[in-house]
Structure 1
């Protein structure tokens, strides 16, 4: 029988979150601060930023057993097959050692036909890992990237200490559901998590499903977050939501980058354009759920815009790549730390032929691996080269 030690969950033990909200159950990690959340009432963003992509409990310990009580919130789509429980990844000294899930919890029922969302509160569950190596080690417990997870209690059979700061650079990344980790196998297998491990950096992932929209509050959150390396992946959500026209897009990109630069004037900043996505390469949004796929219980996407409207300023992925390349080239004349990466160098047309997007929009687990490896090579051996100690932004 273990003699459990209960350790309070504090910001020193939780990495990858910008804020920890106290709830009746415990602590809810947020990837946007309260001030930003108050400026947008969109339910999609609220769901996305509260899902713990890149958030992990990180500590040093000799413990051979660990328990974590959490209250997960599961998504349920009306008429679609049940989604699997979120996966927790346990890494010991940087290597995946075990995986587990917490069943039950609260539910968020989404009706795609009318956009309604119903929240039902459940009860916490317990996650347990045993048989860990009996020596001093780094333990990271990555929370599910696709579930909202309230942290209730942490127990171990030996004392724990927070990881020391300053050993690795902090990489701050913002993007869409692809960066959030949609369809990745597990939280440490999203492409940003994979790239961070290969690059030897600490990840703060502000990838928000359906919500990479050049929002000023996101730029301000990035401005105010300490970071040594910054990247922004821009484009797909602007097209599939049909959010703006070319006239607004350019100034919005400039404004987003200007705001980040207010807090990080010389930090390496990488602008990444969209990966290859055939439905939106030359066809504007809005995107929509494919009714034929929904009828079979599957999710798939189609583009519903008219390519002829591109001449009037509607956005496609090809238009966005050209404009981003132009903007970065213009700004780089006065900003030697600003760089551009064509998303098709991460996943292009030949990759789609080999590893197609299962729902026409999101990469599968194997493609996350490919994108993560390519980003690590192109970024950490390029504009992000050098992984010395963290320095304050």
Structure 2
């Protein structure tokens, strides 16, 4: 087969080739930035990043749902990366970010990069951050079966991962277009992947695998805030199916009241329809989350017992005066989508409690009172595949 441009590894190891990492090898990224060392996948284009606040520019560079995809006979693969990890002073050190290997669509390995990488330490009292530089590392997979195969390396949803070099013991070429429908999804930290056990263990990745669709994940931790630049990005991104999971960040950031929320939802949907006039769109309301069901935000991190938990600081009585709670958001999203659906038969609604409700919370409590654990992600992914991809929205 015809391989991409390649050369010997720096130490001249025989039989190994180095393939430049570029857009032709990446799926799930909307833009690829060339850096001094290699490339950095982005989930927002440059024009949108210029409009985004600093926390979102960090989050969108975390490659949730982004994967390398290539065809090869290689039995060993190495990926040199420079990882930037964020840690919070006083909170437990997060586990190493892991890379998942799929061969012909089936799990075939999991590995972390060796080497320390950069560490960004955040003081949760002032939110000031200090960056400690570190060296690049290498992710290694060996013992792959001989023969031609399609390989995917799913990048971690946590941390920023600058891709420096891809080495294999046989040439590679971009994986062929699988011809699957493209599912474009936008949501908050749970959609991003928070607390899933790996990049293919996030609920959107699991749902996409169940449904046989190509995922573009615009889940932005802490930043599903109906931003106009996100709506315009989605408007301009090719997609066969679109879903929006709206609500939890609007509540726990306490960024707007009901009057502004209603107009912002309509505006976001109007912008989407400019580029996708008949594409099926599914609006998903929040999952069950007891701290915010009837209590407005803001939410605050609590490290008093040495582990990260969240609590709601708002006054439940103020929901009557327009402050948002999850119940208020669900009711309004149901009303808005029902009203718009009279003129837009391709707009659909799903109550998030069908994915994770009170009974699920009793079985799989939210470990930090805000995010599900790995088992919760598996349940949400399976149920989304059943409820959403088995419904009229996906037809």
Asked whether the equivalents of residues 48 and 233 of structure 2 are also in contact (C-alpha less than 8 Å), the reply is: yes
Cα distance between partner residues in 2 of 1:262 and 1:121: 43
Residue equivalent to 2:209: 197
Structure 1 SS opposite 2:283: strand
For 1:63, the equivalent position in structure 2 comes to 74
Give the CA deviation at 1:121: 2.6
Q: What is the CA distance between 1:23 and its match in structure 2? A: 1.2
- 1:49 maps to which residue? 60
- Match of residue 389 from structure 1: none
Equivalents in 1 of 2:106, 2:360: separation in Å? 28
Gaps of 5+ in 2: 1-12
Q: Does 2:138 align with 1:129?
A: no
Residue of structure 2 aligned with 1:230, choices 238, 242, 251: 242
1:151-198 per-position Cα deviation (integer Å, ceiling 9, x unaligned) = 000011111111222511110000000000000000000000000000
- 2:346–2:393 CA contact under 8 A, matched in 1: no
Q: Secondary structure at the match of 2:24?
A: coil
Choose the corresponding residue for 1:80, options 91, 100, 121.
91
The answer on 1:24 being equivalent to 2:24 is no
Question: What residue is the counterpart of 1:371 in the other structure?
Answer: 380
Residue 347, structure 1, aligned to residue 359, structure 2? no
TM alignment of 1:1-393, pairs within 5 A: 3-40=15-52, 42-103=53-114, 104-165=116-177, 167-290=179-302, 294-386=303-395
Q: Is the 1:219–1:259 Cα contact (8 Å) retained in structure 2?
A: yes
Shift of residue 227, structure 1, vs aligned partner: 0.7
Query: SS state of the match for residue 12, structure 1?
Result: helix
Match of 2:51, SS state, is coil
Q: State the TM-score, normalizing by the size of structure 2.
A: 0.95
Hey, what's the Cα distance between the residues in 2 that align with 1:250 and 1:17?
Answer: 30
Shift of 1:107: 1.1
Report the CA distance between 1:258 and its aligned residue.
0.7
Paired with 2:347 and 2:48, the residues of 1 have a C-alpha distance of 25
Find the counterpart in structure 2 of residue 390 from structure 1. none
Counterpart CA distance in 2 for 1:182 and 1:64 is: 32
Structure 1 residue 61, shift from structure 2 partner: 1.1
1:249 CA drift (Å): 0.3
1:228, distance to aligned residue in structure 2 (A)? 0.6
Deviation for aligned residue 1:116: 1.0
Gaps of 5+ in 1: 387-393
Deviation per residue, 1:72-100 (Å, 9 max, x gap): 11111111221111000001111111010
CA distance, structure 2, for counterparts of residue 189 and residue 179 of structure 1? 11
TM-score scaled to structure 1, two decimals?
Answer: 0.95
CA 1:194–1:43 in 2, change beyond 3 Å: closer, same or farther? same
Deviates more, 1:234-243 or 1:113-122: 113-122
CA offsets per residue over residues 47-67 of structure 1, 9 Å max, x none? 211101000000111111111
CA distance in 2: counterparts of 1:115 and 1:200, whole angstroms: 41
Could you tell me how far 1:2 is from its partner in structure 2? 5.2
- Residues in 2 aligned to 1:8 and 1:47: alpha-carbon distance in whole angstroms: 24
Measured in 1, the distance between the counterparts of 2:129 and 2:31 equals 24
The answer to whether the Cα contact below 8 Å between 1:270 and 1:383 also exists between their aligned partners in 2 is: no
Given that 2:30 and 2:45 are in contact with CA atoms closer than 8 Å, whether structure 1 keeps it comes out as yes
Give me the whole-angstrom Cα distance separating, in 1, the residues matched to 2:46 and 2:131. 20
